[in-house]
Amino acid sequence: MLRYHLGWVDQQGETLHGTAPLNFQSALALVSCDVMGGDYRKALPVAASVELIFNFTLVHGDVSPKNILIGPNGPVFLDAECAT
């Protein structure tokens, strides 16, 4: 699941070819390290952690009681933008 979440594999677990996506927050961690004279390679675990925390908050920020309806076949999750 981690490899899918980071954009390394598709939904079937097949390796995606090309570059993995790097979000602004992760890039900022690496650039900040580089600008301060550090070795960006040593900051890679920090950048990965920032990425995981950011993605975790995105996913869990959308799951709230206002985004869940109980239907005849079980719960239905609504897109956060259409729930009010």
Domain boundaries along the sequence of the chain: 2-77
The per-residue pLDDT for range 13-24, each reduced to its tens digit, is: 888 776 655 577
pLDDT at residue number 6: 67
Vertex 1, ends 31 and 73: CA angle to 5°? 130
Whole-prediction pTM value? 0.50
Give 5's strand partners: none
pLDDT at residue number 35: 93
Token representation of residue 79: 């897109």
The per-residue pLDDT for range 9-56, each reduced to its tens digit, is: 888 888 877 665 557 788 888 889 999 999 988 998 988 888 888 877
pLDDT at residue number 82: 52
| SS3 state of residue 69 | strand
Whether 84 shows a pLDDT value over 50: the answer reads: no
